[in-house]
Amino acid sequence: MSTIKQPQATSPLSMWLDYLNSIHTSAIDLGLDRVSVVAQQGKLTRPAPVTITVAGTNGKGSTCALMEAILLDAGYKVGVYSSPHLIRYNERVRINGNELADEAHAQAFHDIEQLRGEVSLSFFEYATLAALKLFQDNQVDVVLLEVGLGGRLDATNVVDHDVSVITSLAVDHVDWLGDDISKIGFEKAGIFRSGKPAVCGQPAPPSTVPAHADDIQADFYQTGIQFDYQSTSKDTWRWVHGAYTLEDLPKPDLPLMNANTALMALCSSGLDISDVNIVNGLKSARLAGRLQVVEGKPTTLLDVAHNPHSAQYLVSQLLAKDETAKYSLVLGMLHDKDIEQTINALQPIAKRWYLASLDGPRAATADELAQYLDDDMVAGQYSSPKLAYQAAVQEVDPQQTILVVGSFHTVGEVLAYQQATASTK
């Protein structure tokens, strides 16, 4: 066991987070051997009567938020586990739409510390087990689990879940998953369960996805085949599953493709949900950092798009609203992302770039970002997203919009700054 002094259950959450970051050799350590031992010992593999696990390159958070809103309207007690957070660790666990107090997280960490004994756990493994303990202790009806990385070897895959979901598939996390889309598909399909629903919201996925579902005899639902959606007007859309059709659904503030996937996951879950619950949930679903508008002069738009796939989607949404619009971009990224192709995807909407360095071992510097841009497009290079954003606010026309993009870290730092600034006014 680590010789680092462990905090007490009553210790501040910050002490526990520092401890969790120090007790394992690496932040990312894929594999289920260690985490399974602790999960089984703590009887954490069934944290609720129904659990839906959601994997995918992009769209996991939005899909979970849409399901959460619908389920809450239907009267279920819902737990959501997601990562990473934008500002506070507490964002990673929601119960009935609310974050939990620091003390609840500290107690859960203490409980997992007692369970793990000599087993070494990564930060994410520890956090996942603590979330499962919180859901179990609070006796939630439904748990929505967002996979951290990949699927097959991700800590969330220790759970005996009831519905598996893949939202989208693209090349990302190359250092851990490789750059072969077929291999990536197989890794994410590793969450599928024999005889249980497996929902795929990616059109025309690599053959490894349906092949794995067939191999283990999962009940496979593929968008465009077993279910599908169509935009029917500026404000409405249609969802179809076999002979079942929902007409005139309100378009949510989150991506329609993820709403399509969320409805199939819920439809296959066996949960009691009405058409009214669906309509109300679609209207109310929100998620910080996804096309999030912060009013002001200039207006600020926040989006965590951090790879080519998500950047392309973001650009398509913005151009659909105004095909001539240009934005001043505050950009900060991690160096293990495809920086060049992400920047290329954002170019059609870029007016000027305010480049920010991030902190940490995975961080890219502003200078690394600048090498993919013409000098006359770069407004400046800054040591942090906060400083880049402050410069943009000072220089951009008050009638224009600043787009903050590239990473959860970038959006989180700017969002924290905005909230702190607003609280002092």
| Cα separation values, 8 from 99, 107, 108, Å | 21, 8, 11
Asked whether residue 26 carries a pLDDT value surpassing 90, the answer given is no
pLDDT value at residue 278: 98
Strand partners, 52: 144, 163
**Contact predicate 358/409, CB 8 Å:** yes
Q: How far is C-alpha 133 from the chain's CA centre?
A: 21
Tokens of 178: 């490789």
Question: Binning pLDDT at 50, 70 and 90, where does residue 29 land?
Answer: low
Just give the CATH number of 292-423.
3.90.190.20
**Contact predicate 403/328, CB 8 Å:** yes
Question: Binning pLDDT at 50, 70 and 90, where does residue 70 land?
Answer: very high
Q: What is the mean pLDDT of residues 266-289?
A: 97
Asked whether residue 176 carries a pLDDT value surpassing 50, the answer given is no
Over residues 281-335, the pLDDT tens digits come to: 999 999 999 999 998 899 999 999 999 989 999 999 999 889 998 999 999 999 8
Over residues 177-191, the pLDDT tens digits come to: 556 889 899 999 999
Strand partners, 301: 293, 403
Q: Which CATH number fits domain 13-284: 3.30.1490.20, 2.40.128.120, 3.40.1190.10, 3.40.630.10?
A: 3.40.1190.10
Over residues 102-116, the pLDDT tens digits come to: 999 999 999 999 999
Asked whether residue 200 carries a pLDDT value surpassing 60, the answer given is yes
Higher pLDDT, 175 or 192: 192
Q: What is the chain's mean pLDDT, rounded?
A: 93
Q: What is the mean pLDDT of residues 108-126?
A: 93
Give residue for tokens 């239907």: 74
List the domain boundaries for the chain: 13-284, 292-423
What percent of the chain has pLDDT above 70? 94
Amino acid in position 231: S
Q: What is the mean pLDDT of residues 207-232?
A: 97
**Contact predicate 93/128, CB 8 Å:** no
pLDDT value at residue 2: 43
| Distance in angstroms (rounded) separating the CA atoms of residues 105 and 185 | 33
* Helix/strand/coil (H/E/C) assignment for every residue in the chain: CCCCCCCCCCCCHHHHHHHHHHCCCCCCCCCCHHHHHHHHHCCCCCCCCEEEEEECCCCHHHHHHHHHHHHHHCCCCEEEECCCCCCCHHHHEEECCEECCHHHHHHHHHHHHHHHCCCCCCHHHHHHHHHHHHHHHCCCCEEEEECCCCCCCCHHHHCCCCEEEECCCCCCCHHHHCCCHHHHHHHHHCCCCCCCEEEECCCCCCCHHHHHHHHHCCEEEEECCCEEEEECCCCEEEEEECCEEEEEEECCCCCHHHHHHHHHHHHCCCCCCCHHHHHHHHHHCCCCCCCEEECCCCEEEECCCCCHHHHHHHHHHHHHHCCCCCEEEEECCECCCCHHHHHHHHHHHEEEEEEECCCCCCECCHHHHHCCCCHHHEEEEECCHHHHHHHHHHHCCCCCEEEEECCHHHHHHHHHHHHHHHHCC
Q: What is the mean pLDDT of residues 122-128?
A: 93
